[in-house]
């Protein structure tokens, strides 16, 4: 690959800009906070505490918009400090849903890891763009966050009497809108509604998809599957998973399915923190023919005694799944 002289000059110019100018304090702070927030999201001893919320919330509500504003308005005279802060909240609220919408059309979907990676890439690109654009300006025109001046700027914008009060009223309205958005988001996270509490319970095939479940089994062979549990109860919860092999018959008189035999297969206990989802490998092995249904029961906290069987046990479960199947004798399959 041959690089032309103009391209080489452009690369050298970009390199010189980044190497000769240090990052501004505000951009460094955004990068450090981003790193701390990602750490709090994934470290086991932090991701279940309020520290995760305190560090991660600005990554969603403020930092992407601030870095975008910094890239769009590198000049100190473009917009004032209060407008930068208020617009940072507004643009963050706009950028994050757009990122989620874009992920919805990708194979990764709207999940935690893709969202964190996308917001991290977006924020870092905006930080680099902001640094590059600021470095091209004279030092007296570059925007730089002077934290000690924030109280004075706040006083000048909102408390100092002046002839034209329209700008002050508009700034107050913007601040109130941003505060309402922040308070609402914090309340939704810290005090979720009771109606939103639920537990995901699902079964996946061998390829970890919701398709390809086996419907014909050979006695004595192993069939790998996956059982998933997602805790959205807004608190740590204890679960017990039971798998049962059933032989059922259809009663034409009562027009219902009767359980003729119900034999235990496996039992697993697990504890999930709030918003934690676990995918558990499960191997189904039927030792003898005659069964025609796999029943997977999920109990939350309390598990009934084994004296409770049949439909009474299924109805006592918190969630239940079942898979219809045909079991073939191993000797017959080898003929």
Q: What is the mean pLDDT of residues 239-252?
A: 92
CA-based nearest residue to 311, from 266, 251, 267, 270: 251
Q: Which long-range contacts (CB under 8 A, 24 or more apart) does 50-58 make?
A: 53/186, 53/189, 53/190, 57/185, 57/186, 57/189, 58/33
C-beta of residue 310 within 8 angstroms of C-beta of residue 259? yes
The answer on pLDDT for 116 being more than 50 is yes
C-beta of residue 66 within 8 angstroms of C-beta of residue 154? no
Residue 52 is inside which H or E element, if any?
helix 50-61
Q: Whose structure tokens read 């034409």?
A: 252
Question: pLDDT tens, 152-185?
Answer: 656 555 555 555 566 666 666 766 776 776 677 6
Cα separation, 132 vs 20, whole angstroms: 11
Question: What are φ and ψ of residue 271, in 5° steps?
Answer: -120, 130
Cα separation, 103 vs 114, whole angstroms: 7
Looking at per-residue pLDDT, the higher value among 160 and 262 belongs to 262
Token pair in block for residue 272: 């999930």
Give, in order, the Cα–Cα distances in Å from 148 to each of 30, 145, 152, 153: 17, 9, 8, 10
Looking at per-residue pLDDT, the higher value among 64 and 89 belongs to 64
DSSP lists the bridge partners of residue 262 as 246
C-beta of residue 241 within 8 angstroms of C-beta of residue 298? yes
The answer on pLDDT for 69 being more than 90 is yes
Percent of the chain at pLDDT exceeding 90: 29
Q: What is the mean pLDDT of residues 111-122?
A: 90
Question: pLDDT tens, 190-237?
Answer: 565 555 688 999 998 888 877 777 778 888 888 888 999 999 887 889
Handedness of CA 32, 29, 62, 142 (dihedral sign): negative
pLDDT band of residue 46 (cuts 50, 70, 90) is: confident
Percent of the chain at pLDDT exceeding 70: 79
Q: Which domains does the chain have, with CATH numbers?
A: 5-191 (no CATH), 196-333 (2.60.40.10)
C-beta of residue 292 within 8 angstroms of C-beta of residue 325? yes
The answer on pLDDT for 58 being more than 60 is yes
Q: What is the pLDDT of residue 17?
A: 63
Looking at per-residue pLDDT, the higher value among 263 and 9 belongs to 263
Q: What is the mean pLDDT of residues 298-316?
A: 92
Cα separation, 87 vs 65, whole angstroms: 7
Cα separation, 217 vs 294, whole angstroms: 11
Q: What is the pLDDT of residue 188?
A: 61
Cα separation, 299 vs 241, whole angstroms: 6
Cα separation, 137 vs 158, whole angstroms: 30
The answer on pLDDT for 287 being more than 90 is no
Q: What is the mean pLDDT of residues 252-266?
A: 88
Average pLDDT over the chain reads 81
Asked whether the whole model's pTM tops 0.75, one would answer no
pLDDT band of residue 3 (cuts 50, 70, 90) is: very low
Most confident of 18-22, 83-87, 241-245: 241-245
Most confident of 22-26, 49-53, 320-324: 320-324
Q: What is the pLDDT of residue 5?
A: 46
Cα separation, 314 vs 292, whole angstroms: 16
């Amino acid at each position: 690959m041959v690089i032309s002289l103009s391209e080489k000059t452009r690369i050298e110019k970009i390199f010189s800009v980044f190497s000769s100018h240090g990052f501004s304090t505000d951009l460094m702070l955004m990068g450090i906070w981003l790193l701390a927030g990602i750490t709090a999201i994934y470290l086991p001893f932090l991701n279940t505490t309020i520290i995760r919320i305190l560090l991660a919330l600005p990554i969603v509500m403020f930092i992407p918009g601030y870095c975008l504003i910094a890239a769009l308005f590198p000049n100190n005279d473009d917009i004032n400090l209060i407008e930068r802060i208020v617009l940072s909240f507004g643009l963050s609220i706009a950028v994050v849903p757009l990122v989620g919408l874009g992920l919805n059309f990708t194979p990764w979907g709207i999940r935690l890891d893709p969202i964190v990676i996308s917001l991290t890439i977006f924020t870092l690109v905006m930080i680099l763009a902001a640094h590059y654009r600021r470095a091209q300006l004279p030092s007296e025109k570059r925007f730089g966050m002077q934290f000690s001046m924030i109280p004075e700027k706040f006083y000048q914008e909102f408390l100092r009497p002046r002839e034209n009060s329209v700008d002050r009223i508009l700034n107050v309205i913007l601040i109130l809108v941003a505060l309402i958005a922040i308070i609402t988001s914090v309340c939704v996270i810290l005090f979720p509604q009771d109606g939103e509490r639920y537990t995901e319970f699902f079964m996946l095939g061998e390829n970890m998809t919701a398709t390809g479940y086996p419907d014909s089994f050979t006695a004595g062979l192993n069939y790998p599957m996956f059982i998933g549990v997602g805790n959205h109860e807004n608190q740590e919860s204890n679960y017990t998973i039971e798998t049962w092999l059933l032989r059922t018959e259809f009663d034409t008189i009562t027009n219902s399915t009767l359980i003729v035999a119900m034999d235990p297969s496996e039992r697993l206990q697990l504890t999930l923190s709030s918003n934690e989802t676990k995918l558990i490998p499960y191997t189904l092995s039927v030792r003898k023919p005659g069964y025609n249904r796999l029943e997977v029961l999920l109990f939350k906290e309390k598990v009934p005694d084994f004296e409770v069987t049949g439909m009474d046990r299924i109805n006592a479960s918190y969630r239940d799944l079942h898979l219809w199947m045909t079991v073939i004798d191993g000797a017959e399959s080898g003929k």
